[in-house]
């Protein structure tokens, strides 16, 4: 069964809690705090698999949860980190945020992509010992891992897409030029799923061709089968538009050509400008006048036309060579850029702005429960995240309070045990 859309829910592991522990050893008095840190939660990682060509694995399993980090132990022992959960998907899978629809990743290769980050482990009480607080009886909890509802959408990775009305010979063509063996019969919608075939041009040179199930008028609006698979044309570097030049179905080849192009443009305006070769198939069943009239019509539009009979292999070799030459000049297969923007933290309501600042040994210690959530959403190595964090500190009133307390440039600020130098 070919499934190219799925909805799943993923949850990265929570960070383990820090430990509250005190050193106990014979003949050692007042050993002090030695609680270890919690382990980091496991990430949710997506990897493209060349052995998969459908999202059927996600038809029944919908929830994916990574392992939590373990809590810290005594003797400053850190908890074990949670194991990452690796999810394999077909190459060409688009991962979208289920709520906003924004693209989080385009899984077009075998390199792993982290979709949901595991939470950091909390610090044990050994971090909180100071000359004035020698017996800290508290530790920090781990930060929750990220969780998302995701939409998975497969857009096949193919260099060439065959488009056209049902029963114009697309399946016959791909079976002739490649090892693909689609079901072929003399009735509409024989092909119910996209079919991929590798076309070998020469030693070490080949391209991937996709037979997109037959389109009909109104496909872009959801009529017929073709609308289900129009998304698979979007990545193709080259469109091969197959037309029944003989009119054996009782249709006009010119009208067929215009109708299919209109459906492509209605689905995605970029497809209308895509590089295209027009194939007049079933030429063995057409008169020379029919073929030449259609050729003139196509060439007047500035498009390359090929006379073909896929059933008898007439013109097939010339078409394959032309496709290969065009692909040499075209850009690589399209990849979709991620546009996902993480949600900002909801700090509405006066109670969510509460914070406390105290000074110990010259260090300004900021404590606020809502900052745990902020830290769980940002990376301290990312400049944009740091800029966002600074805006939160300003809008919450924390920076104003620090200045009222007399903080000077270069003084140390501690927020959730992360220390910063204050800079005006």
Confirm whether pTM is higher than 0.85.
no
Domain spans, the chain = 1-154, 160-329, 345-424
Q: Which pLDDT score is estimated for 251?
A: 86
Same CATH topology for 1-154 and 345-424: the answer is no
Report pLDDT digits (tens) over 5-36.
899 999 999 999 888 888 777 665 567 888 89
| Domain at 160-329: CATH code | 3.40.50.300
Q: Which pLDDT score is estimated for 76?
A: 87
Q: Which pLDDT score is estimated for 160?
A: 92
Q: Which pLDDT score is estimated for 282?
A: 92
Q: What is the 3-state secondary structure (H, E, C) of the chain?
A: CCCCEEEEEEECCCCCCCCCCECCECCECCCCECCCCCCCCCCEEEEEECCCCCCHHHCCCCEEECCCCCCCCCCCCCCCCCCCEEEEEECCEEEEECCCCCEEEEECCCCCEEEECCCCCCCCHHHHCECCECCCCCCCCCCCCCEEEEEEEECCCCCEEEECCCCCCHHHHHHHHCCCCCCCCCCCCCCCCCEEEEEEEECCEEEEEEECCCCCCCHHHCCCCHHHCHHHHCCCCEEEEEEECCCCCCCCHHHHHHHHHHHHHHHCHHHHCCCEEEEEECHHHCCHHHHHHHHHHHHCCCCEEEECECCCCECHHHHHHHHHHHHHHCCCCCCCCCCCCCCCCCCCCHHHHCCEEEEECCEEEEECCHHHHHHHHCCCCCHHHHHHHHHHHHHCCHHHHHHHCCCCCCCEEEECCEEEECCC
Positive or negative torsion for Cα 306, 309, 315, 317: positive
Report pLDDT digits (tens) over 184-233.
545 444 445 677 888 998 888 889 998 887 565 554 454 444 556 677 78
How confident is the prediction along the chain (424 residues), in pLDDT tens digits per residue? 567 889 999 999 999 988 888 877 766 556 788 889 999 999 999 999 988 888 888 988 999 999 999 999 988 899 999 999 999 999 999 999 999 999 999 999 889 999 999 988 888 888 777 776 677 777 778 888 999 999 999 888 889 988 888 888 888 898 888 876 655 545 444 445 677 888 998 888 889 998 887 565 554 454 444 556 677 788 889 999 999 998 887 889 999 999 888 888 888 888 878 899 999 999 989 899 999 999 999 999 999 999 999 889 999 999 999 999 999 999 888 888 888 877 665 555 545 678 899 988 888 999 887 777 676 666 666 676 777 788 888 888 899 999 999 998 888 888 876 778 888 7
Report pLDDT digits (tens) over 263-297.
888 888 888 788 999 999 999 898 999 999 999 99
- Nearest residue to 139 (alpha-carbon basis) of 127, 129, 124: 124
Rounded CA-CA distance 331/48 in Å is 22
345-424 adopts what CATH topology?
GMP Synthetase; Chain A, domain 3 (3.30.300)
Q: Which pLDDT score is estimated for 224?
A: 46
Rounded CA-CA distance 322/8 in Å is 42
Q: Cβ–Cβ contacts within 10 Å for residue 154, how many?
A: 24
Domain 1-154 is in which class?
mainly beta
Q: Which pLDDT score is estimated for 278?
A: 95
């Amino acid at each position: 069964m070919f499934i190219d859309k799925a909805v799943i829910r993923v949850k990265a592991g929570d960070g383990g809690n820090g430990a509250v522990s005190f050193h106990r050893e014979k003949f050692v008095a007042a050993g002090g705090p030695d609680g270890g840190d919690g382990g980091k939660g496991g990430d949710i990682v997506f990897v493209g698999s060349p052995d998969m060509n459908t999202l059927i694995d996600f038809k029944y399993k919908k929830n994916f949860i990574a392992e939590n980090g373990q809590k810290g132990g005594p003797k400053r022992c850190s908890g074990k980190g949670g194991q990452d959960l690796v999810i394999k998907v077909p190459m060409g899978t688009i991962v979208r945020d289920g709520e906003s629809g924004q693209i989080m990743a385009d899984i077009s290769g075998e390199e792993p992509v982290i979709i949901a980050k595991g939470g950091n482990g909390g610090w044990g009480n050994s971090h909180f010992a100071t000359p004035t607080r020698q017996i800290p009886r508290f530790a920090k909890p781990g930060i929750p891992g990220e969780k998302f509802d995701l939409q998975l959408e497969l857009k096949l990775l193919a260099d060439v897409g065959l488009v056209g009305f049902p029963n114009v010979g697309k399946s016959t063509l791909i079976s002739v030029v490649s090892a693909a063996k689609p079901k072929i019969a003399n009735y509409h919608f024989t092909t119910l799923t996209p079919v991929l075939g590798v076309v070998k041009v020469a030693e070490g040179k080949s391209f991937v061709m996709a037979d997109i199930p037959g389109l009909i008028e109104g496909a872009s609006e959801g009529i017929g089968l073709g609308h289900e698979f129009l998304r698979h044309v979007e990545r193709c570097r080259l469109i091969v538009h197959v037309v029944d030049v003989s009119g054996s179905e009782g249709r006009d080849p010119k009208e067929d050509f215009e109708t299919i192009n209109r459906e492509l443009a209605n689905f995605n305006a970029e497809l209308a400008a895509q590089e295209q070769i027009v194939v007049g198939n079933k030429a063995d069943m057409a008169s020379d006048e029919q073929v030449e009239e259609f050729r003139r019509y196509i060439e007047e539009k500035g498009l390359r036309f090929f006379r073909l009979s896929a059933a008898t292999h007439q013109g097939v070799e010339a078409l394959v060579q032309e496709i290969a030459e065009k692909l040499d000049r075209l850009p690589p297969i399209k990849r979709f850029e991620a546009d996902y923007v993480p949600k900002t933290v909801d700090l509405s309501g006066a109670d969510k702005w509460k914070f406390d600042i105290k000074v110990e040994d010259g260090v300004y210690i900021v404590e606020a429960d809502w900052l745990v959530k902020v830290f769980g959403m940002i990376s301290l190595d990312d400049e944009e995240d740091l800029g966002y964090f600074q805006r939160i500190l300003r809008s919450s009133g924390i920076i104003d309070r620090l200045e009222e307390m007399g903080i000077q440039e270069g003084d140390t600020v501690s927020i959730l045990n992360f220390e910063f130098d204050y800079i005006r």
